[in-house]
Amino acid sequence: MDAAHAQTSGQRIAIMGHVGNGNLGDEAIIAAVIARLRAGASGVDLLAFTSNPQDTTERHGLPTFPIRLLAERRSREAQDTGARSWGSSAADRVRRRPWLKTLLRPVVLVARRVVRIAGEMLFDLRSFRRLRGVRLIVFAGSGQLNDDMDGPFGYPLVILRWSVLARLRGAAVSFASIGAGPLDKTLSRLFLRLALRLTAYRSFRDPSSLAIARRLHAPEPSLLVRDLALSHPRLAAAGPPVRAGRAPCVGVNPLPFYGGGNWQVQDRSLYDDYVTAHAELARGLIRLGWRVVLFPTQVRMDPLTIDDIVHQLRASAPDDARGVETATDVTAVSGLLDILEEFDLAVATRYHGVLLALASGIPTVAVSYHPKTRDLMEHMGLGPWCLEVTGLTGSVLLERVADMASQLSTVRTSLANQRGRDLADLLGQYDQLLRLAGYAPTRSRVEGLAPVRG
């Protein structure tokens, strides 16, 4: 079936993602979905709805629209020439008269609420029109079933609204390898319970996410299918070659644990302990003669913590600090995957830092701040190398890295075999999604990793 036929027969697939904020793990998910759907059937017609349409179009080459009104407003602001409106001038005049401001406050509050409701309704109307010809929407991966960022009116309401709009348009709704939790608000659980009832296909990336979905009374079958980033085409290989005759290279991926970014609660003491542990790890590895590279997977937040680690190392051990490399110029998935190919081992905290390293065939010591990380490490057979972030010390990190280095061959073989099984599951999932959209998958065999023996 060619692309023109797909468009006229209403077989477009819309990829839904809260992406565009510099998280390369989430971008790897979108890239994987695009590549695998296109490889699975000829002439697949795709579009996307994301938090940053311009970024998504630039990164992935898809026609992209905003997933929420806030994203649309930010896009308009970015295009604003800076001209001041009559309304802003009137507001300035009111601010200069406090008595008038007090008098008008109730009117302003009501007017703002009316304008907001009207704006949301108009956005829904525009979104409904943009879904024309869409046969399937795919909420793709990442931790979308949660309310820790904006409460019930963040992800939960957005997912429910799009699910309703899709069903009104006659499109099927699917959740593909979704992550879930935390989900603390009663209203959030209500919104997502209703959204799950509208789905034609549901899968979750780890046991804890699947358990949350089942507590929401998700229809069955609700499946366990691992993270979509594992299906990125560049990861479908046996991993980097074993490099004999040189010191190991260790990639270290930190994040701002309780120190900024998207942490709702700040705790400088916890953050300083985390930075100290990583500075001590880097110092220990450098003194062993190993190469150390600090790298981000969230390009807006992680570099700040990398700078703090380097700064502390310079203050305590300036000679060792000169041996530490940083890769804070990485801004794209391709660049991240290039960096990963240099590593013999990795130490990672951010979930997709762990996952992409493992998916690249790199034995990894994980620092866990959420159950999803331990789920992943145990699934890969690496539970003993998963450390809890609280109470973390540099000496414990160094001991676990040295222990893994002594078993590299065994770990690499185990990783390759598990990744092959996961990829087979993911390719089967893509076939199901294509069928829901009305395409006939053309894949005649399971592509990907062959089991590694010995």
Q: How far apart are CA 162 and CA 159, in angstroms?
A: 5
What average pLDDT score do residues 387-416 get? 94
Report the DSSP beta bridge partners of residue 176: 140
Q: Say whether pLDDT at 292 is over 70.
A: yes
pLDDT at 366: 98
pLDDT at 274: 96
pLDDT at 148: 84
Task: Put the strands of the sheet holding 291-294 in their side by side order.
Answer: 324-326, 291-294, 249-253, 345-348, 364-368, 386-388
Higher pLDDT, 437 or 2: 437
Question: Is the separation of the CB atoms in 358 and 230 below 8 Å?
Answer: no
Instruction: Report the CATH number at residue 37.
Output: 3.40.50.2000
Q: What b/e readout covers 65-81, taking b as 16+ CB neighbours within 10 angstroms? A: bbbbbebbebbeeeeee
Question: Is the separation of the CB atoms in 173 and 135 below 8 Å?
Answer: no
- Give the DSSP H or E segment for 175: strand 172-178
Looking at the structure, do residues 247 and 138 belong to the same domain, yes or no? no
Task: Put the strands of the sheet holding 12-17 in their side by side order.
Answer: 64-66, 45-50, 12-17, 134-140, 172-178, 201-204, 223-224
**Confidence class of residue 450 from pLDDT cuts 50, 70 and 90?**
very low
Among 5-19, 82-96, 103-117, top mean pLDDT goes to 5-19
Give yes or no for a cis peptide into 371 (omega within 30° of 0). Answer: no
Asked whether the CA dihedral 272, 285, 262, 210 is positive or negative, the reply is negative
pLDDT at 3: 39
Domain contains 270? yes
Looking at the structure, do residues 7 and 74 belong to the same domain, yes or no? yes
| Residue spans of beta strands (DSSP E) within 25-80 | 45-50, 64-66
Model confidence pLDDT, tens digit, residues 10-56: 689 999 999 999 999 999 999 999 999 999 999 999 999 999 999 99
Among 1-10, 270-279, 439-448, top mean pLDDT goes to 270-279
pLDDT at 197: 98
3-state helix, strand, coil in the chain (%, to 5): 55, 15, 35
Per-residue tokens: 132: 């024309």
Looking at the structure, do residues 203 and 266 belong to the same domain, yes or no? no
Q: What angle do CA 436, 442, 444 make, to 5 degrees?
A: 120
Domain contains 450? no
420 burial (CB, 10 Å; 0-12 / 13-18 / 19+) is middle
Domain contains 209? yes
Looking at the structure, do residues 146 and 14 belong to the same domain, yes or no? yes
Looking at the structure, do residues 301 and 158 belong to the same domain, yes or no? no
Q: One-letter amino acid identity for 254?
A: P
Q: Say whether pLDDT at 439 is over 60.
A: yes
Higher pLDDT, 182 or 450: 182
Domain contains 441? no
User: The whole model's pTM is what?
Assistant: 0.88
Domain that holds residue 279: 238-412
Model confidence pLDDT, tens digit, residues 130-149: 999 999 999 997 778 999 87
Model confidence pLDDT, tens digit, residues 323-370: 999 999 999 999 999 999 999 999 999 999 999 999 999 999 999 998
Higher pLDDT, 335 or 91: 335
* % of the chain residues with pLDDT over 70: 83
Q: How far apart are CA 47 and CA 80, in angstroms?
A: 25
Query: What's the number of domains the chain is made of?
Result: 2
Question: Is the separation of the CB atoms in 233 and 345 below 8 Å?
Answer: no
Domain contains 109? no
What average pLDDT score do residues 273-289 get? 97
Looking at the structure, do residues 314 and 382 belong to the same domain, yes or no? yes
Q: Say whether pLDDT at 1 is over 80.
A: no
Question: Is the separation of the CB atoms in 449 and 236 below 8 Å?
Answer: yes
* % of the chain residues with pLDDT over 90: 72
Higher pLDDT, 235 or 363: 363
For the chain, give the longest Cα–Cα distance: 82
In whole numbers, what is the pLDDT of the chain averaged over residues?
88
Model confidence pLDDT, tens digit, residues 182-195: 899 999 999 999 99
Q: Say whether pLDDT at 91 is over 60.
A: no
Q: How far apart are CA 236 and CA 419, in angstroms?
A: 9
Looking at the structure, do residues 271 and 305 belong to the same domain, yes or no? yes
What average pLDDT score do residues 115-123 get? 83
Per-residue tokens: 191: 């919104």
pLDDT at 426: 96
pLDDT at 258: 86
Looking at the structure, do residues 55 and 144 belong to the same domain, yes or no? yes
Of the candidates 225, 250, 275, which is a domain's last residue? 225
Residues 6+ away with beta carbon under 8 Å from 244: none
Looking at the structure, do residues 278 and 196 belong to the same domain, yes or no? no
pLDDT at 247: 86
